[in-house]
Amino acid sequence: MQAIRTSKFVKLALTIAPLGLMLTACGPKTQTASSTAPTPGAPAAAPPADATPITIGYSDWPGWTCWDIADQQGFFKKHNVNVKLVWFPNYTDSLNAITAQQVDANCQTWSDTMGPLAQGQALKAVLINDNSAGNDAVVAKAGITSIKDLKGKKVATELGTVEQFLLDQALAANGMSEKDIQYVNIKVQDCPAAMLSGKIDACAVWEPNKSQLLKSFPGSTVIFDSKKLPGLIPDLLVFQSKVVDARPADIQNIVDAWYDALDWWRAHPDDAVKIMAKRTDSPVDFYKSFIQGTRIFDATEAEAAFTKSDKPTSLYKSAPTIGQFLLDQKQIPKIPDYAPVIDDTFIKAAVAKGEGKQPPYDYALKVD
């Protein structure tokens, strides 16, 4: 069964005991993937200086299932770092796990990092994996061909999620706001059924709901997607700060293993997709299309995203917009001080070593 990316902006129950946020689990128990299985024929490596495994939570997103490539092809072992990947079928559970310090690191969005930061949790973003580049979209029924056509129509998505953020940005780009539509609060995964039953005219959804709608609803079309919002939906590797401070060499080795995985993906595209699709029990053909809506960053692009600038893909550029949305939606009590969280040390070192020179594909969508 495919993993559930329950939400990207997740409203956490922050009144629960500190570092013990445990929302109701919506999926099976977590599974772990050991990093000890080497590539057949690979030379043995010396044990790491600190043999304690670093635990990394991850869930269903092409920029994150790529960690299975690093694991299965022996790149963690190559770089002499002990990593245990912890699979979460439900994305929200992974967020709760890092908040409760049950994992050392987690694969999560920049937006979902804001809530814990606003509550004072010490975190470090050490790597940007990708930007959403089409996997998040506004889908409308036949006859609606633009955002302006939504005026007065029933438009659904889940309150407080990144899809509401996407919808609001789409409306604003067309001189509109939620006041110009009939907003309907429906969970993202329930939007396809609502549209098929005629309850709504359009909805903002992420994959696989987007593909489900386009396949099941004749004449439906994407009228806006995340390709038009470069930089606003970035996906990251986020660590507990204390782990970064205590084990910087291991963090560097993990980043180096990531770029080896991207190189292997580029050299073996079909095999790479099979590895990622298998992790989620998804059809390979579907996962290929899923991947195309995710813009994986090479090391130079990642370094630029971690650099303060006015470029749309800079985390410094996107943070105020994301933070203001969360504040307006009462998801956070304040916009946190995000600058100290952006740790470019490890990406800069990877670039200096000549790693990650190319993304896994020659994307038509360029990164500014």
Q: Which amino acid is at 344?
A: D
Q: How confident is the prediction for the chain on average, in pLDDT?
A: 87
pLDDT at 368: 66
Which of the residue ranges 13-22, 96-105, 231-240 would you say has the lowest mean pLDDT? 13-22
For the chain, domains (ranges, CATH) are 31-131+232-352 (3.40.190.10), 136-228 (3.40.190.10)
Long-range contacts from 215-218, C-beta under 8 angstroms, 24+ separation? 216/192, 217/139, 217/141, 217/142, 217/192, 218/142
188-228 tens-digit pLDDT: 889 999 999 999 999 999 888 899 899 999 999 999 999 99
* Interval 131-174: pLDDT, tens: 999 999 999 999 999 999 999 999 999 988 889 999 999 999 99
| Residue given tokens 């070593």 in the structure block | 353
Q: Which CA distances in Å does 242 have to 33, 291, 311?
A: 23, 33, 30
Asked if residue 52 has pLDDT above 70, the reply is yes
Residues 180 and 29 sit within 8 Å (Cβ to Cβ): no
- Sign of the four-CA dihedral 239, 243, 245, 249: negative
CB contact at 8 A, 123 and 241:
yes
Measured over all CA atoms, what is the biggest interatomic distance in the chain, rounded to whole angstroms? Answer: 65
